[in-house]
Amino acid sequence: MERREGVRKLAVGLSLAAGVAAAGILARRRPRPPAIRFNAAYREDVRLRDGTRVILRLVRPRDKRRLEEGLRRLSAESRYQRFHAPKAAFTARELQYLTETDGRSHLALGALLASNPREGLAVARFVGGPRDPRVADAAIVVRDDMQLRGLGSVLLDRLADAARERGIRTLRFEVLSANVAMIRLLRRVFGQVRQSREGFLTIAEADLEPAGPAA
């Protein structure tokens, strides 16, 4: 009787050990989730074509005043091109929406002047749609005195990388049809861009390659 009990306990122990070993093998084989580069800790120093150094990071809730100042420093034309209407100021609700993003379906990247980080230079963002999480509406605005220095290209490149991390496959831009410079920028950054017309707007869609495996 004791011998049979000993054999039974041994069999149970071997079975448990085999189960633990199998679980360990499965854990080792299970692919790691991709690393998220563009998170709250993201910060990147970039030197533009003319030598200007800028800091890239995610927009934060405390950036409301910085966005207000940035809007004041935009020309009337740049405001109209970004918002498709005259824009004198942001409402409190707009500022909340633009700065308090979830970092997943709604993400905003800001560029600051490295020599004076309190000074905002540009913002690019995407907002995922409820119908298809693989498609996100995107937009960018660069302060007038910082245009034609390569900042727009850098921000759009990083925005695309952040979108890929989150499984987004297409960025959709609504651009004033007269804003030829923006269409050229999108083509320069993304290459192939599908275009269609909706009234006075050109809808430009850029497909993104899936993010590569984590290193």
pLDDT in tens, 169-208: 999 999 999 999 999 999 999 999 999 999 999 999 999 9
pLDDT, tens digit (0-9, with 9 covering 90-100), for 46-94: 999 999 999 999 999 999 999 999 999 999 999 999 999 999 999 999 9
Q: The domain containing residue 18 runs over which residues?
A: 1-30
**94 in the same domain as 11:** no
Predicted pLDDT of residue 20: 39
**22 in the same domain as 106:** no
Q: Are 168 and 159 in contact (CB under 8 A)?
A: no
Sign (positive or negative) of CA dihedral 209, 211, 213, 215: positive
193 belongs to a structural domain: yes
Contacts of 152 (CB under 8 A, 6+ apart): 122, 140, 142, 185
- What's the maximum distance between 2 C-alpha atoms anywhere in the chain? 94
Predicted pLDDT of residue 130: 80
Encode 110-121: b = buried (16+ Cβ within 10 Å), e = exposed.
bbbbeeeeebbb
Predicted pLDDT of residue 40: 95
Match 């804003």 to its residue by tokens: 179
Predicted pLDDT of residue 210: 75
Give, as one character, the DSSP assignment of residue 35: P
Q: Among residues of the chain, what percentage have pLDDT more than 70? A: 82
DSSP reduced 3-state for 191:
coil
Q: What is the pLDDT averaged over residues 165-169?
A: 96
Find the Cα–Cα–Cα–Cα dihedral 149, 151, 152, 158, rounded to 10°.
Answer: 150
CATH number at residue 151: 3.40.630.30
**153 in the same domain as 55:** yes
177 belongs to a structural domain: yes
**55 in the same domain as 1:** no
Q: Among residues of the chain, what percentage have pLDDT more than 90? A: 78
**52 in the same domain as 139:** yes
Q: Are 190 and 157 in contact (CB under 8 A)?
A: no
213 belongs to a structural domain: no
152 belongs to a structural domain: yes
**12 in the same domain as 48:** no
**73 in the same domain as 2:** no
Helices of type H across the chain = 2-29, 64-72, 76-83, 92-99, 151-165, 180-190
pLDDT band at 209 (very low <50, low <70, confident <90, very high): confident
Looking at per-residue pLDDT, the higher value among 12 and 115 belongs to 115
pLDDT band at 32 (very low <50, low <70, confident <90, very high): low
Q: Are 72 and 21 in contact (CB under 8 A)?
A: no
191 belongs to a structural domain: yes
**201 in the same domain as 106:** yes
Predicted pLDDT of residue 10: 40
**20 in the same domain as 75:** no
214 belongs to a structural domain: no
pTM value?
A: 0.82
**92 in the same domain as 4:** no
- Count of the separate structural domains present in the chain: 2
Q: Are 99 and 91 in contact (CB under 8 A)?
A: no
pLDDT band at 109 (very low <50, low <70, confident <90, very high): very high
